[in-house]
Amino acid sequence: MYAQFHLPKYHHLNANQLSFQKCILIGNWLMVLSLFVVCICLLITYGFDQYFSIKSQIVGHISTIIFAALLKIGYVIRCVGVHGLGGKVF
């Protein structure tokens, strides 16, 4: 089993396995953070739009697209790490 969000202090991974494990960690964190930002942007642009200026809403719309793309990139990075460690289910 591989770690999801942090490496244990004492691990028994070689350099290649450690690189793939870091891919999984980076991908997971990138997905979590970008999902959080996308949710905030959606709240700004659609949920509470009457409280924000038009400039903030424009930035929110653009940020939604950018961070949704980062979410997908994080998933691909995670898939690379899981595949490198021999996983068959992504």
Q: What is the pLDDT of residue 15?
A: 85
Give the pLDDT band (50/70/90) at residue 1.
low
Q: What is the pLDDT of residue 13?
A: 79
- Is pLDDT above 80 for 61? yes
Q: What is the pLDDT of residue 10?
A: 76
In the chain, pLDDT over 70 holds for what percent of residues?
A: 98
Q: What is the pLDDT of residue 75?
A: 97
DSSP secondary structure string for all residues of 14-44:
-HHHHHHHHHHHHHHHHHHHHHHHHHHHHII
Domain coordinates in residue numbering, the chain: 32-90
Q: How far apart are CA 83 and CA 63, in angstroms?
A: 30
Supply the mean pLDDT for the chain: 92
Q: What's the pTM value of the predicted model, to 2 decimals?
A: 0.87
Q: What is the pLDDT of residue 50?
A: 95
Token output for 28: 């997971």
> 29-51 pLDDT, tens per residue?
999 999 999 999 999 999 999 99
